[in-house]
């Protein structure tokens, strides 16, 4: 055996002997001595690997050797091991998909799938993944995504209340709250929710007593209240009647209220103004003078001396009142005599206490007189023929 050949033999023997001791794995198909046999390991394989295992942090090179990690088909999620911390192979589906935490796959029972197909019914114990959210409770919410149609996290308040475009929260802008706090002032552009009602032109019952009930509307969206128009609910139910509607038993109506106006003070500013009708304290409606002559005076100095008020004509109607601000009664003689106080129990004598009035129809006199029971008081006299 010549020298070079002997040296090659010795090197091969040393490597073969030392490799197991160093824990190195010898790749299959290695070459023989003297450059013969060649094997299938490339120069890259030989310089980046010791055996079939890549060294740590060595970059991948096409043709590198390695070992397959074989999994076990386990689509029905059968337990591989008897307890925790036992060695176990990893599971795959029949399509070779790795099975980790339950996933979405037609190979796995619906309840164990994390992602559910559209339209799948819920069942107790179904698997799922908690949805992470992001706190975004600033007075002006911060944009989470920059553009429309981008995936985005869900925003919540500091109390984990989910924010929506119609959210109510003291941490959210008042203008974009749908529910408003009591006494919050209105501002142009404030958000809100339409207040829907129910068309109920037949006025059928919508709820039992003390139940919540929607508002009733006509077909054109008019909100029913009382009073309502006869064109909507019919003449019998209408509080406001159409012109020339015939009266009928049991028809709805609304009380017409007037104003007590004992002093007959002016109630409207100018002609053609709307005005309420006036009455005395008994609810009797005041009438306008029917004749051509009219007498009117408001005397604020009725005292202990009788005063006479001459009309200058013979009256048909006389109205006398004492304002409620008077301090005492005013004694009256309304048939042309002289008033005395206290008033006698005779025809034509009377006493007007503060706030009282007298009205006479078909009363033919030409004067009245008045005297105060005490102090200085006021009297209002109206007479016409």
Global pTM?
0.32
Classify residue 262: in a domain, yes or no: no
The reply to whether 204 and 172 lie within a common domain is: no
> Cα separations (Å) of 245 from 100, 234, 236, 241, 254?
82, 11, 10, 7, 15
Lay out the sheet containing 307-310: strands in order across.
Answer: 307-310, 367-372, 330-333, 349-352
The reply to whether 301 and 371 lie within a common domain is: yes
The reply to whether 282 and 380 lie within a common domain is: yes
> Contact, 183 vs 196, CB < 8 A?
no
The reply to whether 351 and 367 lie within a common domain is: yes
The reply to whether 344 and 379 lie within a common domain is: yes
Provide the terminal-to-terminal Cα distance of the chain, rounded to the nearest Å.
167
H/E element, 319? strand 317-321
The reply to whether 138 and 235 lie within a common domain is: no
Q: Identify the pLDDT of residue 32.
A: 42
| Weakest mean pLDDT among 63-72, 143-152, 210-219, 373-382 | 63-72
Structurally, how many domains does the chain consist of? Answer: 3
Question: Where among 178, 193, 208 does a domain terminate?
Answer: 193
Q: Do β-strands 367-372 and 53-54 pair in parallel, antiparallel, or remain unpaired?
A: unpaired
The reply to whether 307 and 359 lie within a common domain is: yes
SS (H, E, C) 115-163: CCCCCCCCCCCCCCCCCCEEECCCCCCCCCCCCCCCCCCEEECCCCCEC
The pair of structure tokens assigned to 110 is: 């619906």
Classify residue 50: in a domain, yes or no: no
Classify residue 152: in a domain, yes or no: yes
Q: Judging by beta carbons within 10 Å of its beta carbon (0-12, 13-18, 19+), is residue 267 exposed, middle or buried?
A: middle
Question: Where among 169, 193, 217 does a domain terminate?
Answer: 193
Classify residue 329: in a domain, yes or no: yes
The reply to whether 356 and 375 lie within a common domain is: yes
The reply to whether 328 and 355 lie within a common domain is: yes
**Nearest Cα to Cα of residue 381 among 361, 364, 357, 363:** 357
CA–CA dist 220, 225 (Å, integer): 15
**Nearest Cα to Cα of residue 337 among 303, 370, 304:** 370
Classify residue 111: in a domain, yes or no: no
Which domain, by its residues, includes 226?
196-253
H/E element, 43? helix 43-48
CA–CA dist 110, 149 (Å, integer): 30
The reply to whether 134 and 222 lie within a common domain is: no
Alpha-carbon torsion angle 248, 250, 254, 258, nearest 10 = 80
> Cα separations (Å) of 336 from 257, 320, 332, 339, 369?
36, 14, 10, 9, 7
The pair of structure tokens assigned to 147 is: 């553009």
Dihedral-angle region of residue 165 (phi above 0 means left; psi in -120 to 50 means alpha; beta otherwise) = alpha
The reply to whether 207 and 294 lie within a common domain is: no
More confident residue, 109 or 207: 207
**Percent above pLDDT 90 for the chain:** 12
The pair of structure tokens assigned to 299 is: 């005397």
The pair of structure tokens assigned to 101 is: 């935490």
pLDDT tens per residue across span 32-81: 444 444 444 444 444 444 455 666 777 777 777 777 778 888 877 777 77
Q: What is the CATH number of the domain that holds 339?
A: 2.60.120.770
Classify residue 216: in a domain, yes or no: yes
Q: Report the mean per-residue pLDDT for the chain.
A: 75
Reported as a pLDDT band with limits 50, 70 and 90, residue 317 is confident
Classify residue 335: in a domain, yes or no: yes
Instruction: Spell out the residues 6+ positions from residue 284 whose beta carbon is closer than 8 angstroms to its own.
Output: 359
Q: Across the strands, what pairs with 24?
A: none
Q: Judging by beta carbons within 10 Å of its beta carbon (0-12, 13-18, 19+), is residue 232 exposed, middle or buried?
A: middle
Classify residue 365: in a domain, yes or no: yes
Highest mean pLDDT among 37-41, 171-175, 343-347: 343-347
Q: Is residue 251 helix, strand or coil?
A: coil
Question: Where among 174, 193, 212 does a domain terminate?
Answer: 193
Reported as a pLDDT band with limits 50, 70 and 90, residue 22 is very low
The reply to whether 188 and 216 lie within a common domain is: no
> Cα separations (Å) of 5 from 38, 102, 325?
17, 62, 145
């Amino acid at each position: 055996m010549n020298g070079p050949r002997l040296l090659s033999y010795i090197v091969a023997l040393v490597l073969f002997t030392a490799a197991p001791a160093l824990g190195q794995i010898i790749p299959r198909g290695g070459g023989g001595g003297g450059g013969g046999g060649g094997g299938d390991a490339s120069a890259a394989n030989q310089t980046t690997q010791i055996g079939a295992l890549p060294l740590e942090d060595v970059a991948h090179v096409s043709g590198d050797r390695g070992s397959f990690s074989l999994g076990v088909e386990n689509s029905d999620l059968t337990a591989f091991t008897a307890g925790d911390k036992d060695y176990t192979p990893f599971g795959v589906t029949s399509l070779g998909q790795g099975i980790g935490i339950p996933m979405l796959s037609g190979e796995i029972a619906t309840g164990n799938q994390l992602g559910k197909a559209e339209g799948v019914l819920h069942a107790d114990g179904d698997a799922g993944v908690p949805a992470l959210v992001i706190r975004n409770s600033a007075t002006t919410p911060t944009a989470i995504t920059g553009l429309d149609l981008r995936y985005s996290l869900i925003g919540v308040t500091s109390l984990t209340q989910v924010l929506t475009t119609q959210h109510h929260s003291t941490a959210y802008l008042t203008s974009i709250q749908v529910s408003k706090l009591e006494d919050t002032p209105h501002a142009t552009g404030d958000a809100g929710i339409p207040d829907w009602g129910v068309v109920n032109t037949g006025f059928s019952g919508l709820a039992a007593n003390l139940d919540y009930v929607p508002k009733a509307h006509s077909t054109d969206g008019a909100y029913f209240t009382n009073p309502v128009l006869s064109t909507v609910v019919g003449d019998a139910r209408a509080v406001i009647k159409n012109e020339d509607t015939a009266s009928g038993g049991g028809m709805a109506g609304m009380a017409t209220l007037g104003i007590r106006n004992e002093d007959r003070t002016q109630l409207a500013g100018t002609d053609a103004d709307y005005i309420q009708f006036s009455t005395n304290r008994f609810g009797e409606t005041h009438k306008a003078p029917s004749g051509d002559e009219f007498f009117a005076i408001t005397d604020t100095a009725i005292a202990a001396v009788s005063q006479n008020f001459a009309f200058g004509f013979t009256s048909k109607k006389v109205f006398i009142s004492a304002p409620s601000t008077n301090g005492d009664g005013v004694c009256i003689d309304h048939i042309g005599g002289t008033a005395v106080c206290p008033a006698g129990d005779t025809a034509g004598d009377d006493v007007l206490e503060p706030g009282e009035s007298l009205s006479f129809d078909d009363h033919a006199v030409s004067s009245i007189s008045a005297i105060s029971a005490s102090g200085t008081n006021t009297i209002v006299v109206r007479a016409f023929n």
